[in-house]
Amino acid sequence: MSSYDVIIIGSGPGGYVCAIRCAQLGLKTACVEGRETLGGTCLNVGCIPSKALLHASHQLHEAEHNFAKMGLKGKAPSVDWKQMLAYKDDVIGANTSGIEFLFKKNKVDWIKGWASIPEAGKVKVGDDVHEAKTIVIASGSDVATLPGVEIDEKVVVSSTGALELGKIPNKMIVIGAGVIGLELGSVYKRLGAEVKVIEFLDTITPGMDAEVQRQFQKILTKQGLEFQLGAAVQSVEVKNNKAKVTYKLRKDDSAHTEDADIVLVATGRKPYTDGLGLDALGVEMEDRGQIKTDGHWQTNIPGIYAIGDAITGPMLAHKAEDEGMGVAEVIAGQKGHVNYNVIPGVIYTHPEVANVGQTEEQLKEAGRTYKAGKFSFMGNGRAKANHAADGFVKILADKDTDRILGAHIIGPMAGDLIHEICVAMEFGAAAEDLARTCHAHPTYSEAVREAALACGDGPIHS
């Protein structure tokens, strides 16, 4: 039996970041992970592999659609799917072994195996029981299924199966028009599959700014993705390695069926806390299966904390990471804090979509008076040169004080551009602060400045 100041259960972005920060703050730290490799969902079957496939398939798209326009002539590359999967696996390997290196460097012990908590202060892994003054649960999330739909990871796949299909399908149906469905749907569309997205609600990317939703759907449709919105999937039947999807339109209850080689179920994720023994310990849970915590990530059991996808809030790697650092600081006696009002969200399609803070719809509902400064990438020289002028930047600011309340970007490098606005919001900046900051030319960032100018006297280039 070994004893630690802190044992963290789970090595995803929440758990591994927490472990490294605990060690940096002088705490004797171990992290338990049941998978073969460190890094959790994010590095093994989430953010990183999906971005590798998005990157590779985007290069193909550029070669097929934009190279000739720039005078780059020649045969468009053909797809070697096995090699693309091998590239993706190499990227995963480089990232997961990177965490192993960081654990060694920071003297974090990796306890291999699945953990349970027999009582506060004890963590059981296999036959070993380890002692810990503090336990942090960072056990993450798992795929959520739909009634009537059984995932076999061959024909009917979750995001995990979609990252390693045996071949590129002729036709793919994606159930759910959220971030994961649209990212992976885009990958297979670019690689030549026919892709249809079926969504229960009447808009794609529920919860996002409505203007962005409309523009995003238009752009994806132009890229060849098909959408059936307002449709409730009833069942998916598999016969002879083909799937038959039955759905009902919500507007008139009419039933429809459609065949596909692959069905990707992308209807969301649920917190994963199986096998930890939380019931027996009396850990309080939320209605939707998350572990209940207070403002400092402490559960109702003293000495047991929880972070990341296993608790409430957006299921995002960087949210989990920030909570990992925050809880480490709390455990070390410091003042750990996460500003939940400034957590960006990004969709890594092409163009990218990014947002932070409030949407116009939320501001209207709250009765807040605001102004919206908008600038199209059509007015941005760099975007035009790079065939990337689809989209816009929209900044929402308080009507009286000019303080930035939110921002919504669809366009090139949106996932990077959003951070300028995140920093501004952390500093309580006004739109005018951004507008008066000199931005290098020619950059996509100039579009952010122009949107800030549009909150005041007006942009220059539109």
Q: Among all residues, which ones are annotated catalytic?
A: 441
Q: How far apart are CA 420 and CA 409, in angstroms?
A: 12
Choice from 4, 6, 27, 33 touching ligand FAD (CB under 6 A): 33
- What is the distance, to the nearest Å, from the Cα of residue 433 to the centroid of all Cα atoms in its chain? 29
Task: State yes or no: residue 87 binds ligand FAD (CB under 6 A).
Answer: no
Task: Candidates 137-145, 352-360, 369-377, 396-404: pick the segment binding ligand FAD (CB under 6 A).
Answer: 137-145
Contact characters 9-28, ligand FAD, x per CB under 6 A: xxxxxxx-------------
Choice from 95, 159, 267, 299 touching ligand FAD (CB under 6 A): 159
Question: What are 176's two structure tokens?
Answer: 């759910």
Q: Is 315 annotated as a binding residue?
A: yes
Nearest distance, CB of residue 404 and ligand FAD, angstroms: 22
Task: State yes or no: residue 182 binds ligand FAD (CB under 6 A).
Answer: no
- Judged by beta carbon, residue 13 or residue 412, the one nearer ligand FAD is 13
Choice from 7, 23, 32, 146 touching ligand FAD (CB under 6 A): 32
Q: How far apart are CA 40 and CA 400, in angstroms?
A: 45
- Give Dmax (Cα) for the chain: 69
Nearest distance, CB of residue 114 and ligand FAD, angstroms: 4
Nearest distance, CB of residue 347 and ligand FAD, angstroms: 8
Token look-up 């941005």 returns 380
Show contacts with ligand FAD in window 295-354 (CB under 6 A): 308-310, 315-318, 320, 348
Choice from 85, 260, 276, 396 touching ligand FAD (CB under 6 A): 276
Q: How far apart are CA 155 and CA 335, in angstroms?
A: 49
Task: State yes or no: residue 132 binds ligand FAD (CB under 6 A).
Answer: no
Q: Is 439 annotated as a binding residue?
A: no
- Of the candidates 163, 175, 180, 223, the one whose C-alpha atom is nearest the C-alpha of residue 200 is 175
- Judged by beta carbon, residue 54 or residue 435, the one nearer ligand FAD is 54
CA atoms within 13 A of residue 235's CA, in its CB half-sphere? 4
Left (φ > 0), alpha (ψ -120 to 50) or beta: where does 394 sit? beta
Helix residue spans in 141-233 (DSSP H) = 159-162, 179-190, 210-222
DSSP state of 201: S
DSSP state of 462: -
Contact characters 46-85, ligand FAD, x per CB under 6 A: xx--x-----------------------------------
- Of the candidates 231, 254, 317, 245, the one whose C-alpha atom is nearest the C-alpha of residue 51 is 317
Q: Is 329 annotated as a binding residue?
A: no
Q: From start to end of 191-310, where are the E strands?
A: 194-198, 226-228, 231-239, 242-249, 255-260, 262-265, 269-271, 304-306
- Judged by beta carbon, residue 88 or residue 408, the one nearer ligand FAD is 88
Task: Candidates 45-53, 195-203, 256-264, 394-402: pick the segment binding ligand FAD (CB under 6 A).
Answer: 45-53
Q: How far apart are CA 88 and CA 53, in angstroms?
A: 7
Task: Candidates 138-146, 242-250, 362-370, 387-395: pick the segment binding ligand FAD (CB under 6 A).
Answer: 138-146
- Judged by beta carbon, residue 67 or residue 110, the one nearer ligand FAD is 110
Task: Candidates 139-147, 213-221, 283-291, 416-424: pick the segment binding ligand FAD (CB under 6 A).
Answer: 139-147
Q: How far apart are CA 202 and CA 186, in angstroms?
A: 20
Reduced to 3 states, what is the DSSP secondary structure of residue 335? coil
Question: For the purposes of burial, counting CB atoms within 10 Å of the CB of 257, is it exposed (0-12), middle (13-18) or buried (19 or more)?
Answer: exposed
- Judged by beta carbon, residue 12 or residue 391, the one nearer ligand FAD is 12
Q: How far apart are CA 61 and CA 395, in angstroms?
A: 30
Sign of CA dihedral 334, 339, 340, 343: negative
- Judged by beta carbon, residue 43 or residue 435, the one nearer ligand FAD is 43
- Judged by beta carbon, residue 174 or residue 372, the one nearer ligand FAD is 174
Nearest distance, CB of residue 129 and ligand FAD, angstroms: 14
Task: State yes or no: residue 209 binds ligand FAD (CB under 6 A).
Answer: no
H or E element that contains 363? helix 360-365
Left (φ > 0), alpha (ψ -120 to 50) or beta: where does 163 sit? alpha
Annotated binding residues for FAD, written as ranges, equal 51, 309, 315-318
**Residues that constitute the known binding site:** 51, 176-183, 199, 268, 309, 315-318
Residues found near ligand FAD in the complex (CB under 6 A) = 9-15, 32-35, 40-42, 46-47, 50, 114-115, 138-141, 159, 180, 272, 275-276, 308-310, 315-318, 320, 348
| Residue stretches of the annotated binding site for NAD(+) | 176-183, 199, 268
